[in-house]
Amino acid sequence: MSLQFKATFSALRQMFLCRFPIRVPQIGRKKRKQFCQPLSERFVGGPDGKGASFNSLNSVANKVGDIIQATDRGVNIQMASPGSVVDGDQMGALPMGAPSTSSGFNFQTQTVTITLSDGPAGTLPGSLSSDGQPLHSTPADLLSHELGHADSTLFHGAEDSNGDAVRTENGTRKMEGEPTREGHKQPGDVQVNGTPF
């Protein structure tokens, strides 16, 4: 299993507070590892159809549930090295680089592509943090932020993409017990509470 896959999978686990085993197919002669229970058994009505839906797991899962369940459009997640340029953004640590980015909607493939830097994220200024201290981001924070942009693009015409990104990120931050983000680029530049869509 590549380090990039592990980093992305770890961010997804953290984002949904996924602390139960999942089966990963056997690779070569290595034994199968247990990470999280398969979505089909845990969140899509369970094996008997009576379990909880994925959207009911938590507020972040509810927000991105449409993406996960969509059959006609979707999201690709990829990793990029710091210093590489993706859609005009130089990947790297804040404040000079972008630790994550989302492409616009690709009409041909019906997808949005999220790119995460596989280097350090850096920090946002304290003015964007609910506690006034520099705001550190985990991979789960970055991924949930970009999934907020993707949800807005795929299902709401990108009407409030920056707001959706910050609110989705804040859902993850609250679950992790972290300070929340108070804006996208400036404090108060987006509605940070509630979910308009």
Each residue's pLDDT tens digit, 41-75 = 445 554 456 666 667 777 777 777 778 778 888 88
In angstroms, the CA 66 to CA 197 distance is 11
Task: Provide the 8-state DSSP code for 29.
Answer: T
Q: Which two tokens stand for residue 133?
A: 């201290």
In angstroms, the CA 149 to CA 10 distance is 20
- The residues, any chain, with a CB within 8 Å of residue 113's CB and separated by 6 or more, are 75, 76, 77, 78, 102, 103, 106
Q: What is the pTM of this model?
A: 0.77
Strands (E), the chain: 74-80, 85-86, 89-90, 100-102, 111-117, 123-124, 135-136
- Using alpha carbons, list the distances in angstroms from residue 84 to 118, 143, 176: 11, 18, 30
What pLDDT is recorded for position 54?
A: 67
Residue 183 pairs in a beta bridge with: 187
Q: For the chain, list residues with pLDDT below 70.
A: 1-54, 195-197
> With the C-alpha atoms ordered 156, 157, 162, 165, is the resulting torsion angle positive or negative?
positive
In angstroms, the CA 166 to CA 164 distance is 6
Q: Strand 100-102 vs strand 111-117: parallel, antiparallel, or unpaired?
A: antiparallel
What pLDDT is recorded for position 31?
A: 44
- Other CB atoms within a 10 A radius of the CB of residue 85 amount to 11
Give the containing element (helix H, strand E) for 169: helix 161-176
What pLDDT is recorded for position 133?
A: 97
Contact between 9 and 18 under an 8 Å Cβ cutoff? The reply is no
